[in-house]
Structure 1
């Protein structure tokens, strides 16, 4: 019977990144760190799946050209409204200051 060893999350993350990010071979890493091949293979598969899901989420948050155009037009419209309000307030302030003199 084999031993059931537990590994900390930090250790699993570190070893997985050695394989995925540094390009080390799973076989070599297993031998060096005395980790069962199947265990490390599962860690790597889980890490890659998580990366794909995160990438999918990032891609879904990007705006399409039409969404960007709509957002730009909305911001432009709000800016013009604010500029118009400021101009009206300036005129009103000018009128009120003239009346006090």
Structure 2
């Protein structure tokens, strides 16, 4: 029996509201997580990401472009490795 674990996803609005409990209403992370029924570590990670984005000098459009470029670079590197292996294979075949 092969069962894949299902992870619950949360909307950006939910995350924003959860972080507002901490920053605007004075809840501790533990109190907010308990009230929302989520793990403390999850709320801590959302908080850390929000702080990183707030301290970042990259605007959202640049961030989107950066993520797309990183994805493209990863794809191109993978293709390059495939071509290296193929050329080595065909070089052996030619001998």
Q: TM-score, normalised by structure 1?
A: 0.46
Higher helix share: 1
- TM-score scaled by length of structure 2: 0.49
* Structure showing greater Rg: 1
